[in-house]
Structure 1
């Protein structure tokens, strides 16, 4: 009987060892995921984490964060079905995210107030790199992922990155599929009425200051250049690619003005532009090919804003040909 019991025990040990080896070889437990094992507490009850690489080094974040504070990149989080517990004031004011953020805590200007953020007791913080000193303090509150400003060149890059970061790959794939379908339909509508070689300018006219941007700084640039595929005037393409923006004087404005203009301004109307000796001489102004909107709508360029803006600008462009 003793010999028989020893034989059974040896077989059980061997079976357990083989099972563990098989799991490791199959990759079912990623090496960058760690799970706490406090004595006397079931492993399943411990929070799981994973290590991610960031511009500030490798950091350990929750596998399924529950209380995210995000000073930036709100559009991608909302697209993935994630509602943060707190965000900064300018995101609360985002008209494209208004409904999704109605119950989210306003953490103040910039990327938010440190004291307010700490009081939210977040388990993950997401920020850009615009406030380096503040970001150093945030790491003392919770794991903080820093993603440099304007890091992503396309909506696909941004949504896919956060889908991977937050374990929402399926949600990212589904949202991007809908995005692709809707933007493709918009582009098809536009190209039915606007020649593909038409030139476009993205301008801002605030006070006496005039500036122009390419595809990476909002104001309609991502929609016109990335989604709809139009180009700025050939003479300024290189400048609007690198550095991607320029401050202008009215004297050089004709050089930057395309067949169509998307104009951000809070104090100019079409009548004002037509009455101006330089603006009034631009073909886009003469032909009423100018889309005017305020900074409260044009300055946002998160994925949800870009999708909405694409459909709004498409409606305008189609209307210009009726």
Structure 2
């Protein structure tokens, strides 16, 4: 999982927007969503869905895909399918463990390690559509089924992702309804924070490992989307000038004060706020001294799909404005 620094970048039942999706996944025998469970006993059922096709423009040119795919392998963008009530037949193990919706994915096959797809497993699933963000895999995947590649970063936020996949999968109404509720909840969280935190307060998104410190922008996980996009908070000058375009960078401990804002959102699997206070380097930062730090584990911060961003935004708003 540590390779995610260079590769990219509670649970579903707690989210009212996803109750129908979770319920559908739990009722595998009488599935109400457009997923694999209803066709799993007949792996060749997907052939009937391909009688009707449509052409779509992709980074690999115009391709034909099923108009109503039944067996999708989501090598990426699983979190954009869940709001559309589309459950795939397979996805990488890392995305299946997404704490924000993993309860909706019981019975979905593991297609291998993230970034190291298992072609045999994907082939066995007999998909009629594959979604990916890595064009390096296109030649292999497209031999199995029509493959739509949407490179990471092409879709900048929840609206772009849900609108795109709503169009692709003919789920426009579901996408619009989910986004309306998303916008209402994001607006409520943002208003709550604006009442409690001065507009000029700066925020930094950091990750601390055993050997390294990383700083992140507004579209690479670790809390950047909820803080900078959803809540509309500003970054320190150094981050805004250097990080927002490339989205992440490794920094030395000596440079940390240059990138540390008034508030810190830190991903660490080992450190606590007390550890940071006792550390001779971290303890000198104003945010640490003032207790304006949120520390969470990678399992909660790494994901930045629409579902995760919504939950993270409300989680961070509760921290920043607990009594508002």
TM-score range, shorter chain: 0.7 to 0.9
TM-score by length of 2: 0.82
Residue 175 of structure 2: which of 167, 172, 176 is its match? 172
Does residue 285 of structure 1 match 2:285? no
Distance 1:190 1:57, change over 3 A: same
Once residues 163 and 80 of structure 1 are traced to their aligned partners in structure 2, the CA distance between those partners, rounded to angstroms, is: 7
Q: Deviation string for 1:122-175 (max 9, x for gaps)?
A: 110001116x1x321111111000110222111101110000111111111000
The list of structure 1 runs, each at least 4 consecutive aligned residues, that deviate by more than 3 angstroms after superposition, is none
Structure 2 equivalent of residue 25 of structure 1: none
Once residues 230 and 145 of structure 1 are traced to their aligned partners in structure 2, the CA distance between those partners, rounded to angstroms, is: 34
Residue 133 of structure 2: which of 122, 128, 134 is its match? 128
Once residues 216 and 46 of structure 1 are traced to their aligned partners in structure 2, the CA distance between those partners, rounded to angstroms, is: 35
Once residues 97 and 71 of structure 1 are traced to their aligned partners in structure 2, the CA distance between those partners, rounded to angstroms, is: 16
Deviation at 1:103, TM superposition (A): 1.8
Once residues 242 and 149 of structure 1 are traced to their aligned partners in structure 2, the CA distance between those partners, rounded to angstroms, is: 14
TM-score by length of 1: 0.83
Once residues 157 and 96 of structure 2 are traced to their aligned partners in structure 1, the CA distance between those partners, rounded to angstroms, is: 23
Q: Deviation string for 1:54-106 (max 9, x for gaps)?
A: 00111000111001001100011011110001111101111011111122111
Larger radius of gyration: 1
- Conserved 8 A contact 1:211-1:247: yes
- Conserved 8 A contact 2:131-2:147: yes
Structure 2 equivalent of residue 114 of structure 1: 119
Does residue 264 of structure 1 match 2:264? no
Structure 1 equivalent of residue 319 of structure 2: 316
- Conserved 8 A contact 1:239-1:245: no
Residue 62 of structure 1: which of 59, 66, 71 is its match? 66
Structure 2: gaps of 5 or more residues: 1-47
Deviation at 1:45, TM superposition (A): 9.1
Once residues 45 and 148 of structure 1 are traced to their aligned partners in structure 2, the CA distance between those partners, rounded to angstroms, is: 26
Does residue 299 of structure 1 match 2:299? no
- Conserved 8 A contact 2:49-2:70: no
Once residues 263 and 210 of structure 2 are traced to their aligned partners in structure 1, the CA distance between those partners, rounded to angstroms, is: 22
Structure 1: gaps of 5 or more residues: 1-43
Does residue 192 of structure 1 match 2:195? yes
Structure 2 equivalent of residue 77 of structure 1: 81
Does residue 101 of structure 1 match 2:101? no
Task: Work out the number of aligned pairs and report it.
Answer: 276
Structure 1 equivalent of residue 3 of structure 2: none
Deviation at 1:272, TM superposition (A): 1.4
Please report the RMSD computed on the Cα atoms of aligned residues, expressed in angstroms: 1.5
**Which has the bigger relative contact order, CA under 8 A and spacing at least 6?**
2
**Which residues in structure 2 correspond to 1:14-25 (within 5 Å)?**
none
- SS in structure 2 opposite 1:183? helix
Deviation at 1:208, TM superposition (A): 2.1
**Which residues in structure 2 correspond to 1:207-218 (within 5 Å)?**
207-218=210-221
